[in-house]
Structure 1
Amino acid sequence: MEHVKNVIKKILDMNGVTHVTQNVFNKILKIGRGNDSIDEFIRDTQLSAVCREKVLEWIPYDRFHDIEYIAKGGFSKVYKANWIDGYIDKWDNENQNWERLNSDDIVALKSLNNSKNITSEFFNEIASHHKIVGNHNYINNSIVRLYGITQDPETKNYMMVLEYAEDGSLRNYLDKSYDTLSWENKFSVLCFIAIGLTKIHDKELIHRDLHIGNILYNLDYACITDMGLCKPADYNTLENKRVYGVLPYIAPEILRGQNYTKASDIYSFGIIIYEVISGLPPYHDVNHDENLAIKICEGFRPRFNIKQIKEAEEIIKNSSVSSILSTSLALSYETHSKAIYTKSLQINISQLNMNGQSNQSSKSKGGVYCWLRKEWNDVK
């Protein structure tokens, strides 16, 4: 603890603070919550923070009100709630306390299943979030913000306190607003996702579960969320020969039993590009089963609408994207009863019959970029 105090003193000295009381230490660190691992993690984030986005804190559960269940994922439940205090902005030396913003604002509470014993999965997700966040707004706007950690007093499960996206997932936003989206809006959304994915890869991490349900839309920007399966680039993920995720976004080499790479994330991003441009969920009119997995490995991909591709081409030819008028393209589709866009699908890759199938991979020239280029050339 003396080492911790010395570090804090040096930080405060640089900001003109000469007298430091025990009360100041307690408020800065805000530790002692009954779990040494969480205390240490929060302490480390506060001591090493170079911007407010890097500061995490322990938030007592009674600082939230109007808690409302939103959705259930494969490994978690998500709620929304009002946070009485608001998030940390900076240290106020005069009042010797944190200065905060957005009091009583709505946040998301993500409860990881069976996390009361602090699973490695829980720490992996919060550590990945914290590692990716930078000190530039354009980066932070492309990754959903993590404010801190709390604990449900009833279930004892630990919960991540996250930025809340009023518009929900990007898929929900497209369903509601696609007809009024300009091409400039679509390209802006894709740029935010590309920035976020680049930041993840720059930290030598792989998302491993990138799909449009894990992209949130909030205040005119898109941000990547759900780092639960995020792992280092050299992590071996296929020991049990099962693939977890949303089938339409899984790269063909992963379905064949190869390890996840940055290229497999980029393949998933390519499918999202298709979805944002066309407005349609990928493979929305077919059953999401092992037959589709085999067809994807054979090179089967979603098809673009010719009119949409032509209009995108005109924008690229034009020197000013902002001068292009908003194009209204009526979005109408029916989803197959067995088209699954949740984490509930698990594929046993050892049972897929890949004998004699092509070896197409998103890591090769036959991957997602050539597929997009072919789709483009086919309609010229």
Structure 2
Amino acid sequence: MDSNIQNENSVPKEWLENAIFERHINYIEYDKFTDPIEIGIGGFGKVFKCEWKDIELTVALKCLKVDTSIDEKTIEDFINELKLLRSVSCHPNVISFYGVTKDSNGYYDMVLQYADDGTLRDYLMTNFTKLQWKDKLYIAKEIAFGLLFLHDNNIIHRDLHSNNILIHQKQPKITDFGLARQMNEISMTSNSAAHGMPAYIEPKCFIDPRYKRDKRSDVYSFGRT
């Protein structure tokens, strides 16, 4: 693999451009996507449902914000999520990552699997009375399998809740890795409670500002979900 791709300390935008040039990340021309419909807001900007016309596939484009200036830190966080997705999206309980595109504003967007039943929260609100206990157990088990796969790859999600789990053809898919980190990248002095939904954050994060989230933190969030 090219040394520029391996260098995690390289300038974020250069890393992404090198990764695309060396074909380590799939690049799809923006004009391949049609019929955009806004479906939500992600950590970096809006999410659109689009049709990938070449292969007749419905996808989601997760876009960098275009209403504010994009600084280096925003690009770095975007690429961190991209790197993590690239390494774990092969699992059936993690949202699939197809590549990146560059929109008409010149910003890179992630091309992701579109989940036809939306978030787990919406799915349960719509279908809860129809679901049997075996169906609910299946959902919980599949989320646990996805979370175990992340942890086996030393990835901590740090923002797991029912809006960051999608349902596609009745299969749970963990998504939104904006706060996720590799275990060796988490600082002992970082304030773990600074980001995420408070109801899903383990109480110790609010007691000790130096507390470092680990795999147990995700398990707590999973239990709350």
Give the TM-score taking structure 1 as reference length.
0.51
Are the counterparts in 2 of residues 116 and 158 from structure 1 also a CA contact under 8 Å?
no
User: In angstroms, what is the RMSD of aligned CA positions?
Assistant: 2.2
Residue of structure 2 aligned with 1:125, choices 78, 81, 84: 81
Q: How many residues align?
A: 208
1:270 aligned partner: 223
Larger RCO: 1 or 2 (CA < 8 Å, sep 6+) = 2
Runs of 4+ in 1 over 3 A off after TM superposition: 42-46, 114-118, 237-242
1:38 aligned partner: 16
Give the C-alpha shift of residue 116 in structure 1. Answer: 8.0
1:229-248 alignment, distance < 5 Å? 229-234=179-184, 235-236=186-187, 238-239=189-190, 243-248=194-199
1:104 aligned partner: 56
Residue of structure 1 aligned with 2:46, choices 56, 74, 77: 77
Deviations 1:143-170 (A, max 9, x none): 000000011212x221100000111000
> Match of 2:93, SS?
coil
1:252 aligned partner: 203
- Give the aligned residue type for 1:126: L
1:158 aligned partner: 108
> Match of 1:57, SS?
coil
Deviations 1:85-107 (A, max 9, x none): 2xxxxxxxxxxxxxxxxx22110
Change (3 A) 1:105 1:192: same
Paired with 2:44 and 2:15, the residues of 1 have a C-alpha distance of: 21
Paired with 1:83 and 1:74, the residues of 2 have a C-alpha distance of: 23
- Aligned: 1:200 with 2:150: yes
Paired with 2:195 and 2:110, the residues of 1 have a C-alpha distance of: 22
1:160-309 alignment, distance < 5 Å? 160-234=110-184, 235-236=186-187, 238-239=189-190, 243-256=194-207, 257=209, 258-272=211-225
Change (3 A) 1:116 1:166: farther
- Give the aligned residue type for 2:133: W
Are the counterparts in 1 of residues 192 and 213 from structure 2 also a CA contact under 8 Å?
no
1:331-346 alignment, distance < 5 Å? none
Are the counterparts in 2 of residues 170 and 222 from structure 1 also a CA contact under 8 Å?
yes
Gaps of 5+ in 1: 5-34, 47-55, 86-102, 135-139, 273-380
Are the counterparts in 1 of residues 33 and 53 from structure 2 also a CA contact under 8 Å?
yes
Question: Quick check: which has more Rg, 1 or 2?
Answer: 1
- Give the aligned residue type for 1:84: K
Deviations 1:201-223 (A, max 9, x none): 11111001001100000101101
